[in-house]
Structure 1
Amino acid sequence: MKKKNVWWEWTKALVIAISIAAVIRFFLFTPIVVDGLSMMPTLQNGDRMVVNKVNYKLSPPERFDVIVFHAPEQRDYIKRVIGLPGDKITLIDDQLYINDEPMDEPYLDGYKEELSGGVLTEDFTLEQVPDGELFVMGDNRRYSKDSRDIGTVEIEEVIGNTSLVFWPLQEIRVVD
């Protein structure tokens, strides 16, 4: 029997492991760090999350998904999908209406209670989300640069959705 070269075997194993990690990182899942306060109270500045890049290759984004997308400022933003193509979006007195139907936003309840009479979101209307685009907003409506400022987001600019916070360890959770 021929003796195997230990170094060659270790090198092959290392190359295979790095290749698998690269495929997972670039095509399936990638980490992201929440930068800023625009998604509070749902996400905190510095939270580390996993972005699923595969999901939207198989099915379209859904309303209220938390997504990551390429923003016009050459940065990646993390926001919540509010409007899908063809939707009419209206906000009046902190009540979201989609196609003239009131929508429940339980992820905002804590902030609305803290305001004690203040307004979380200024009133506005978007008559129709264009085809192939999404209307997105941060959960911290007062301090979020979102579709109200940058316009709707092309679906092609969406990297993926995210719902798993993996860091800090004491904050590991799945985001609704």
Structure 2
Amino acid sequence: MRKEKKIKSIGAEIRDYVLCIGIAIVIAMLFRTYVFAKENVDGSSMMSTLKDRDVTFVEKLSLHSKSIKRGEIVTFDSGNAAHDIFVKRVIGIGGDKIEIKNGRVYRNGEELNESYLDKDTYTQGGSFLGENKKYKVPQGYIFVMGDNRKVSYDSRYFGPVSLKALNGHVILRAYPFNKIKLFK
């Protein structure tokens, strides 16, 4: 009788552990999907702000409220066959008019103060938004550019990005450790 009780007790304990581990995995997956996730930077399109192999963390709550702001750094699905994840800076939101002229970016007729760019950065137009052309960003979309304008493949070439394609808003560079930084 004691052995049976002990076996049932061990079985109940194993079941409890499995249940707790299962619940923890589900909570972690939900947290990663809807709240906070790690993203690795692959490439140089955001230099000097972010470098190749930097490790960042993105928050996802602003995606649900659609409160993406100008100047924020976001990650999104590129829409290409490999579904690469791109990281870029938000230049314009729905309703904004974007223009590139004389190597500078204008939003709603005002030249942007892009202090995050390297000194003497020249922004040229692309195949989607050429120089001296104006583009109005549709509602539900954003216009993005990389900080390393010479090499960045961004909205100047592929057009606006749907808010539905966003993965998150970069809030922290966690690695390299000597370059840890919070972003707004």
The two structures have a TM-score, normalised by structure 2, of 0.82
The residue correspondences of 1:120-135 to structure 2 (distance < 5 A) are 120-123=122-125, 124=131, 125-135=133-143
- Are 2:140 and 2:163, in contact at CA under 8 Å, matched by a contact in 1? yes
Coordinate RMSD, CA, aligned:
1.9
> 1:127 & 1:167 partners in 2: Cα distance?
36
- Residue 71 of structure 2, aligned match among 42, 64, 67: 64
Task: For 1:69, give the aligned amino acid.
Answer: F
Aligned residue pairs total 168
Gaps of 5+ in 1: none
> 1:140 & 1:59 partners in 2: Cα distance?
26
1:81 aligned to 2:90?
A: yes
Runs of 4+ in 1 over 4 A off after TM superposition: none
1:16 aligned to 2:23?
A: yes
Residue 93 of structure 1 deviates from its aligned partner by 2.9
- Are 1:69 and 1:159, in contact at CA under 8 Å, matched by a contact in 2? yes
The equivalent residue for 1:174 is 182
> 1:30 & 1:167 partners in 2: Cα distance?
14
The equivalent residue for 1:25 is 32
SS at match of 1:143: coil
Residue 45 of structure 1 deviates from its aligned partner by 0.4
The two structures have a TM-score, normalised by structure 1, of 0.85
* Greater gyration radius: 2
Task: For 1:76, give the aligned amino acid.
Answer: I
Gaps of 5+ in 2: 126-130
